[in-house]
Amino acid sequence: MKKELPPVNEGPRADALDKVTGKATYAAEHRVPNLAYGVFVCSTIAKGTIQSIDESVALKSEGVIDIISHKNCPSIPGYATQLPDGTRNPKQWWGMKVLHDNQVRFYGQPIALIVAETIEQANAASLLLKVSYQKETFETDFNLIRKDLSKAKPPSTYTRGNATNLEQAAVKVEGEFNIPIEVHSPMEPQATIAVWESEDKLTVYDKTQGPKATQGALARLFNIPDKNVRVIVNYVGGAFGNALRNWHNVPAACIAAKKINRPVKVVLTRPQMFNLTGYRPQSWQQLKIGADQSGKFVGIVHHAISNTSRYEEFREGIVNASRFLYACDYVETNYRILPLDVSTPTWMRGPGEATGCFALESSIDELSYTLNMDPVELRIKNFAEKNPESKLPWSSNYLKECYDKGRELINWNNRAQKPGSLQENGWLVGYGMANGVFGAGRSQASVRAILNADGNLVLQSAVSDMGPGTTTAMTKIAAENLVMPLNKISFKLGDSELPPGPTQGGSTTTSTLGTAVYLACETLKKSLCTLAVEYAPAFKNMEASTLLVQNGGVSSTLNKELFISNADLLKLANKPFLEITQDSQGTSAMELKHATNSFSSHFVKVLVNPKTFKVKIAEVVTTADAGKIISENTARSQMLGGVVGGVGMALLEELKFDHQTGAITNASFAGYQVPLHPDIPKTTVWFVNKPDPIINPIGAKGLGEIAFIGLAAAIANAVYNATGKRVKDLPITPEKIRAIKN
Ligand code: MOS
């Protein structure tokens, strides 16, 4: 029997209408009766102790309900370092314990929370707090401090092969790369509304990428059972990693709400978003790469340092891709973190790899010119047939198809191998490309599927969707599996009371949750077939295994005439609905014999003004091997977003400090530049769209990170092709291009 396929790869995002009409309710927008408003007062020194806080004037300010600081913060179980018996508290709050002590660890650290009847009153009173400090000397200047390696934490190192390979290489290039701090800059700021339903029962509306993770964190903070904490996050207005953990607003709102016995809302201001929700750490990298005359890599040495805060150690995989993206016998990597008196960095789109691939992919490009070889041909020459680090075969790797399509779509034939030799209308023209790679595992998930008597299917899981279109992708997986129309399927997320779903991060949601949805549909189909045999007279005595669920009912593979709709079947079985809950395991439980990664290859055409060195991105072709593409529209949007982020990283973004005070000097969109519409060129997205046979039954690999990883290098490589000037310090500004002599 021929399957009648529904239009699974078409249609808008499932939540598009809600988002564009304003019906979508974000964390700060929930209406809660008797709500009070909390506003942080932040430190105006970078390091030291708070000597005194004088609240007397602020407390008299209109509408002020309370002012919470370390002076009067209630005792919080999760803030205790030790249990009463003196052993380490295993349920300690992860991160800085806001409002807990008199220590100032970075400039702009929240030191008090003003709680008032209105946001205006809280803001007004926040200016009236008088704070005095004992200042201490501090270090915020990464470029200066990193030169003293004794100040960094001990390195993590990796070596394989023989170093003499690189020493004796026929051709070698070596360079240093600097990337400043970049911040997530989502539209929706971090926001928390905390409501204590009773003494030990908490409901929280929060911007989070992981409702279950936030639930667990708050349960530990207040030493109450998980089930006593409910986290609601219906929509997330962008996150890119900055809602993977709970920042100061979360405990502060909950502590304040408990203290004043009223719901409290804390929303970070835009300037606070530059400082209080993590960021891509600043980094320095050194990369050496050598090849033989034919272009075969003989050695890669990749060293990196990135900053962390003084109070937490944040590490990411900056040097990891250098170990396995290409075939190379000798590889040495070394990665250190350097504590500074700043707030803690965090994962930000393509964490680690985006930084590392800028150095790796820029260096390979440079090597291609030394060899006088096409940079794509050089990469093909060094294609890794299996993962050279783990020695495992790839579950799938279609990078070569990305190269072919990328070259075709960007018109790579038009590229000149000699830099600076191509012009259009008086502008220098350059073509560049670079690759991205990221892990493609999956984790555990649980999904509930409820098939109602009206034939509609509801899927549920406690996840949130920061924007990639999880709802859309999940309904499409179910629609395809059950061969039923999309409009009969809905996906409910955003509530920790639903079956436990994964935190959305690391490009794993589609693979993780999609597997659970797929398996839930499989189970549902089996149940329906069993019900048909049991209750539908026409199917009596048939084998359930010969039945088929599609088009909203059960049919027989043996007799095409037979069909009973799910609705009729449930009626016969006297069931108002059919409900199943399905768990799926993660790749860690699978004993994988394969290396699982997603790959991307980005192709860029730039125009550079020969007098001003202004860079205009003329065109981008971005290609990816992300396995099977579940939802073309939303997957394409991920890739477009990656390009926007890549243009920002390459040309614009840089958080700046005043090292005299330790303050950030450009904590606004006037000072911190992000790409705007005119900065984004015509972009073509192409997917290999071949299912991965190993990672999961749906064939999808991750997509979010590889959309972005490699883009900055592709742009830098195109600028080099246009000008013969290789900028290794991001962002690439006209001043930096001009300063390079060639
Ligand atoms: Mo992300 S950095 O996987 O939120």
Is residue 585 within 8 A of residue 547, CB to CB? The reply is no
Q: Is residue 159 situated within a structural domain?
A: no
Contact between 140 and 662 (Cβ < 8 Å): yes
Asked whether residue 117 is domain-assigned, the answer is yes
Q: Which atom of ligand 1 is nearest to the CA of 351?
A: 2
Cα(235) to centroid of ligand 1, in Å?
16
Query: Which atom of ligand 1 is nearest to 239's Cα?
Result: 4
The tens digit of pLDDT for each residue in 356-374 reads 999 999 999 999 999 999 9
| pTM exceeds 0.75, yes or no | yes
> What pLDDT is attached to residue 5?
45
Q: Which pLDDT does position 199 carry in this prediction? A: 97
Measured from the Cα of 347, ligand 1's closest atom is 2
Residue 147 lies in a domain: no
Looking at the structure, do residues 466 and 615 belong to the same domain, yes or no?
A: no
Task: Pick the atom of ligand 1 nearest to 209's CA.
Answer: 4
Q: What separation in angstroms does the CA of 396 have from each of 325, 638, 711?
A: 13, 21, 22
Distance CA 447, CA 617 (A): 43
Question: Does a structural domain hold residue 150?
Answer: no
Lowest mean pLDDT among 492-501, 530-539, 587-596, 712-721: 587-596
CATH number at 578 reads 3.30.365.10
The 3-state DSSP class for residue 264 equals: strand
Q: Kindly state whether residues 130 and 216 are assigned to the same domain.
A: yes
Mean pLDDT of 57-76: 98
Which of 279, 316, 347, 512 has most ligand 1 atoms within 8 Å of its beta carbon, as the pocket-test mutant? 347
Domain count, the chain: 3
Q: Angle at Cα 19 formed by Cα 18 and Cα 22, nearest 5°?
A: 80
Same domain flag for 643 and 657: yes
The rounded Å distance from CA 512 to ligand 1 centre is 14
Both 570 and 668 in one domain: the answer is no
Domain span at 436: 283-441+591-739
Ligand 1 nearest atom to the CA of residue 508, by list position: 3
Same-domain status, 302 and 364: yes
Helices (H) and strands (E) in the chain, counts: 18, 29
pLDDT for 10 equals 54
Buried/exposed 541-551: b ≥16 CB within 10 Å, e otherwise:
ebebeebbbbb
Average the pLDDT over each of 3-17, 194-208, 216-230 and give the range with the smallest value: 3-17
- 610 part of a folded domain: yes
CA of 253 relative to ligand 1 center, distance in Å: 24
Looking at residue 588, its pLDDT comes to: 85
What's phi and psi for 17, nearest 5 deg?
Answer: -65, -45
Alpha carbon of 157 to ligand 1 centroid (Å): 25
Q: Which residues line ligand 1 (CB under 6 A)?
A: 209, 240-241, 244, 347-349, 351, 505-507, 704
Alpha carbons within 13 A on the beta-carbon side of 417: 12
Residue 11 pLDDT class (50, 70, 90 cuts): low
273, 292, 313 - which closes a domain: 273
Mind telling me the catalytic residues? 705
How high is the pLDDT of residue 271? 97
Look at 512-521, 585-594, 718-727 and tell me which has the smallest mean pLDDT: 585-594
Atom of ligand 1 at shortest range from CA of 240: 4
Give the model's pLDDT for residue 8. Answer: 41
- Indicate if 548 and 620 belong to the same structural domain: no
Looking at residue 175, its pLDDT comes to: 98
H helix runs in 127-278, sequence order? 142-145, 164-167, 211-221, 249-260, 270-273
Give the per-residue pLDDT at 284: 98
Whether the pLDDT of residue 468 is over 60: the answer is yes
For atom 4 of ligand 1, the residue with the nearest CA is 241
In this structure, the answer to whether residues 571 and 533 fall within a common structural domain is yes
Say how many Å lie between the CA of residue 248 and the centre of ligand 1.
19
What tens digit of pLDDT does each residue of 204-232 get? 999 999 999 999 999 999 999 999 999 99
Task: Give the distance (Å) from ligand 1 centre to CA of residue 389.
Answer: 24
- Which one of 221, 248, 273 terminates a domain? 273
652 and 669 housed in the same domain? yes
pLDDT in tens, 232-291: 999 999 999 999 999 999 999 999 999 999 999 999 999 999 999 999 999 999 999 999
Question: Could you tell me the distance, in angstroms and rounded to a whole number, from the CA of residue 508 to the centre of ligand 1?
Answer: 9
Is there a domain that residue 658 lies in?
yes
Residues 460 and 334 in one domain: no
* Substitution candidate for ligand 1 out of 244, 279, 443, 511 with most atoms within 8 A of CB: 244
Same domain for 341 and 249: no
Same-domain status, 596 and 582: no
Of 204, 238, 273, which marks where a domain is finished? 273
Q: How far is the CA of 181 from the centre of ligand 1 (A)?
A: 16
* Interval 146-177: pLDDT, tens: 999 999 999 999 999 999 999 999 999 999 99
pLDDT single digits (tens) 632-688: 999 999 999 999 999 999 999 999 999 999 999 999 999 999 999 999 999 999 999
In a shared domain, residues 734 and 642: yes
Instruction: Report yes or no on 6 lying in a domain.
Output: no
Distance of CA 532 from the midpoint of ligand 1 (Å): 44
Q: CA 590 from chain center: how many Å?
A: 24
CA 360 from chain centre, in angstroms, equals 21
Residue 539 domain-assigned? yes
Please check the confidence at residue 603 and state whether its pLDDT lies above 50: yes
Which pLDDT does position 6 carry in this prediction?
A: 44
Output the pLDDT for position 268. Answer: 98
CA angle, residues 665, 669, 670, in degrees to nearest 5: 70
For the segment 67-94, the average pLDDT, to the nearest whole number, is 95
Nearest ligand 1 atom, CA 350: 2
How large a percentage of the chain has pLDDT more than 90?
A: 96
